[in-house]
Structure 1
Amino acid sequence: MGVDYYKILEVDKNAKDEDLEKAYRKLAMKWHPDKNPNNKKQAEAKFKEVSEAYEVLSDPQKRAVYDQYGEEGLKGQVPPPDSGGASYFSTGNGPTGFHFNPRNADDIFAEFFGMGGSGFTSSLFGDDAFAFREGVGGSMKRGGPRKASPVENRLPCRLEELYKGTSKKMKISRDIADTSGKSMKVEEILTIDIKPGWKKGTKVTFPEKGNEQPNVIPADLVFIIDEKPHSVFTRDGNDLIVTQNVSLVEALTGYTVNLTTLDGRRLTIPVDNVIHPSYEEVVQGEGMPIQKEPTKRGNLRIKFHIHFPTRVTAEQKTGMKKLLGY
């Protein structure tokens, strides 16, 4: 398999999203070059290795390719499964080739800790911690000080967290002025209460939590909710979508869907209708919570991928025609 990403992250092959996050958090903090000034070259190599492993294993499609084909599959030496819709891979030289280009390790670190493109820099290790860089521009109040531009920060959330709701605590570091006007750095814990049903793009604003400067109103701190990919479900508004693989026999004679919901319940859904390629089984009320109507939920939409046999004998064809009345 070449590079063993599971070994690099120190997890087993059945590791769940939260296991990967915990492992990456620990190792990224351990090997971040800023934390290893006396061993920077080795730390940079390990940091890059850990980031690449997390990038692959935390992405369901990349992980599927890696599990089936190993590092060679990511490099485009063999085609990945379901390659027709693999938006996470760029086309290689061959007609079915795909190539995985690892992202910059610092970008992955920034995205994981919610610092991507936001004007934050990491100030501490061990907790989610941020230090402010003032935004450019801002608005000027007539006859008064201007207000610094809002500082926006992505907050990646797992689908389970957006389904059930959760609280996230973020440590920030910022400059404030004491009574004498002298600047001093303080740390503060902000609590973000994520409500069930929140969607990507939802904003949480903490007014005037930026650095204090003379004649400037501190910037607002804005967290923007983002959704991490899920290994089973995809979200469409308030609906959840899952795809099941079925054989042709199951599609024609009946199939039972067994699912574990985002809150850990087991669902058993018998499908008695004939499953054709565009068929969807809709389960009312098993989707995402509806933010403005907490007692209601969207729907669970089950799609199907039908596996047709690659070869049918003449005897089988005759039997099927007779069975189907042709």
Structure 2
Amino acid sequence: MAAVRLLGILFLNLSLSIIVAIAERDFYSILEISRSASTHQIKKAYRKLAIKLHPDKNSQDPDASQKFQDLGAAYEVLSDPDKREMYDRCGEECLKKDGMMNNADPFASFFGDFGFHFGGESQQHQTPKGSNILMDLPVTLEELYSGNFIEITRNKPVMKAAKGTRKCNCRQELVTRNLGNGRFQMMQQNVCSECPNVELVNEERILEVEVEPGMVDGQETKFTAEGEPHLDGDPGDLILRIRTQPHSVFERINDDLYTNVTISLQDALIGFTVDITHLDGHKVTLTRDKVTKPNSRIRKKGEGMPNFDNNNLHGNLYITFDIAFPEKDFTAEEKEAIKKLLNQSSANRIYNGIRGN
């Protein structure tokens, strides 16, 4: 009987372990990333799935809320190096035992409010709101090509409790005054409440903004409640607007890139092979075995900027060729040799003139 009881206990423990293992969530699968994913890939995957799986967009799915909560938990753990290390070592249960898991919704604060609304009731502020702050964020073309995370130090006025009270929530109300003998007077009156006094104290905040591959000039990212404070309401928002810095080699037009390459007259006549260093450092090889005329242009398909909505798609790279002519004067013998080589008759010169419109 003792052996049977022991076997029963072992079977029960094994069953419980299997149940716990099944109950634990695979955060990497939830975020649809590999276990070696970088922080940038984790945040990008979360942003994409948070929009896709939001319950307001999946109201017909009975599991929508649970999927969104699982997504939030996965991001909470994998975006934190310490939590991720523990999760990789011993799973979700270890995090719960150490009190490292919470039920906060990281989507509400992940890089601020992206301005995505998914239907339902309109989101109206019932309280006053401070002013928004609009700032330009200078970024390089390299950052817009490959993506980057930029830390911004923000000195933000924050309300702290102070001694005394103050008038707050002031509003205009219509009041009726009895003047006697059946006469009444209606008038607007300013009515205020008494609130604890506050003072504004500057606090330093570190904000992290993601420059995503393919973002365009003028695109905005919003940080909710990081704008100007309001004593009787909510803070405004901080809005960062992408401003592309001029580049020394490439010019961007939509998803296409343009550049000029200067080649020698010799290369223009006999052909050449030249490498261009792209924005992320990879080489684009240009090869010509034909005569290249001044202002000739070639296209390298798929070597432009990544598309913001689909980074797997790229625009084109257009290269225009300029010809560098020799600066030295040729001798009479060299001129004759050139004439013989090119075999071009000077008698066939054509004056194109200037045609009117």
| TM-score calculated relative to the size of structure 1 | 0.51
| Distance change (3 Å), C-alpha of 1:148 and 1:277 | farther
User: 2:144 is matched with which residue: 144, 162, 172?
Assistant: 162
Distance in 1 of aligned mates of 2:289 and 2:260? 17
Residue correspondence of structure 1 range 245-324 to structure 2 within 5 A: 245-310=262-327, 311-324=329-342
Question: Conserved in 1, the CA contact under 8 Å of 2:130 and 2:230?
Answer: no
SS at match of 1:296: coil
Distance in 1 of aligned mates of 2:251 and 2:135? 24
Deviation, 1:188, is 2.3
SS at match of 2:280: coil
Deviation, 1:203, is 0.8
Question: Conserved in 1, the CA contact under 8 Å of 2:128 and 2:230?
Answer: no
Distance in 2 of aligned mates of 1:293 and 1:324? 50
CA RMSD of aligned residues (A): 2.6
Distance in 2 of aligned mates of 1:211 and 1:153? 13
Distance in 1 of aligned mates of 2:125 and 2:271? 74
2:198 matches 1:182? yes
Question: Conserved in 1, the CA contact under 8 Å of 2:144 and 2:213?
Answer: yes
Give ranges in structure 1 of 5+ residues lacking alignment: 1-141
Deviation, 1:159, is 1.7
SS at match of 2:320: strand
Distance in 2 of aligned mates of 1:148 and 1:279? 55
The one-letter code of the counterpart of 1:161 is E
Residue 213 of structure 1 aligns with which residue? 230
Can you list the C-alpha shifts for 1:204-228, whole angstroms capped at 9, x where unaligned? 1112212322235422111111122
Question: Conserved in 2, the CA contact under 8 Å of 1:176 and 1:211?
Answer: no
Question: Conserved in 1, the CA contact under 8 Å of 2:271 and 2:288?
Answer: yes
Question: Conserved in 1, the CA contact under 8 Å of 2:255 and 2:307?
Answer: yes
Distance in 2 of aligned mates of 1:313 and 1:290? 54
SS at match of 1:293: coil
SS at match of 1:182: strand
Distance in 2 of aligned mates of 1:275 and 1:143? 63
Distance in 2 of aligned mates of 1:181 and 1:288? 53
Deviation, 1:299, is 1.4
Distance in 2 of aligned mates of 1:182 and 1:273? 77
Name which structure has the greater RCO, CA cutoff 8 Å, separation 6+.
2
Deviation, 1:151, is 1.0
Distance in 2 of aligned mates of 1:143 and 1:288? 39
Deviation, 1:315, is 3.6
The one-letter code of the counterpart of 1:151 is I
Residue 89 of structure 2 aligns with which residue? none
The one-letter code of the counterpart of 2:140 is R
Question: Conserved in 2, the CA contact under 8 Å of 1:173 and 1:186?
Answer: yes
| Distance change (3 Å), C-alpha of 1:225 and 1:290 | same
| Distance change (3 Å), C-alpha of 1:276 and 1:246 | same
Distance in 1 of aligned mates of 2:290 and 2:216? 33
Residue correspondence of structure 1 range 88-107 to structure 2 within 5 A: none
SS at match of 1:258: strand
SS at match of 1:275: coil
Larger Rg: 2
Deviation, 1:164, is 0.6
SS at match of 1:170: strand
Distance in 2 of aligned mates of 1:250 and 1:211? 60
Residue correspondence of structure 1 range 193-208 to structure 2 within 5 A: 193-208=210-225
Deviation, 1:294, is 0.9
Question: Conserved in 2, the CA contact under 8 Å of 1:163 and 1:262?
Answer: yes
How many residue pairs get aligned? The number is: 186
Distance in 1 of aligned mates of 2:226 and 2:248? 36
Distance in 1 of aligned mates of 2:157 and 2:197? 11
Residue 74 of structure 2 aligns with which residue? none
| Distance change (3 Å), C-alpha of 1:178 and 1:165 | same
Question: Conserved in 2, the CA contact under 8 Å of 1:148 and 1:217?
Answer: yes
2:167 matches 1:151? no
Question: Conserved in 2, the CA contact under 8 Å of 1:158 and 1:230?
Answer: yes
Residue 40 of structure 2 aligns with which residue? none
Deviation, 1:268, is 2.3
Question: Conserved in 1, the CA contact under 8 Å of 2:214 and 2:307?
Answer: yes
Deviation, 1:307, is 1.3
Residue 325 of structure 1 aligns with which residue? 343
Q: Taking every aligned residue pair, what percent have the same amino acid on both sides?
A: 36
The one-letter code of the counterpart of 1:156 is P
The one-letter code of the counterpart of 2:318 is R
Give ranges in structure 2 of 5+ residues lacking alignment: 1-123, 162-195, 345-357
Deviation, 1:313, is 4.0
